[in-house]
């Protein structure tokens, strides 16, 4: 049974990740209750020295991303999650 939790109107602002050990993130809602109104504002992932570990496990996508509707990446957000508008 899927939970009936609803994730809405979440803003991450001015977040900087430097040299992550793995890909930047996972943004996953469920099939019944998609995450709505998610905003990344100036969320960046900086790699120095070309760390190959930061590409795993999501590779070029940088994020595992599904079950999200109407999400926005604004400001200097980079990389942009693939499920964001």
> pTM, whole model, 2 decimals?
0.80
- Asked if residue 26 lies in contact with residue 63, where contact means CB atoms within 8 angstroms, the answer is yes
Residue 81's CB is within 10 A of a number of other CB atoms, namely 22
Q: Note the pLDDT tens digit of each residue in 38-59.
A: 999 999 887 665 555 556 776 6
Enumerate long-range contacts of 30-33, CB under 8 Å, 24 or more apart: 30/2, 30/3, 30/67, 31/2, 31/67, 32/2, 32/4, 33/2, 33/3, 33/4, 33/5, 33/6, 33/7
pLDDT at 5 over 60: yes
Domain extents in the chain? 11-74
| Paired tokens of 78 | 């980079």
| Paired tokens of 16 | 């900087």
């Amino acid at each position: 049974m899927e939970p009936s939790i609803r994730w809405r109107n979440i803003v991450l602002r001015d977040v900087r990740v430097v040299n992550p050990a793995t890909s930047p993130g996972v943004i996953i809602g469920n099939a019944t209750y998609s995450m709505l109104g998610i905003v990344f504002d100036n969320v960046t992932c900086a790699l120095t020295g070309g760390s190959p570990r930061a590409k795993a496990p999501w590779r070029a996508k940088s994020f595992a991303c599904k079950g999200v509707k109407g999400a926005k990446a604004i400001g200097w957000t980079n990389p942009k999650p693939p499920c964001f508008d």
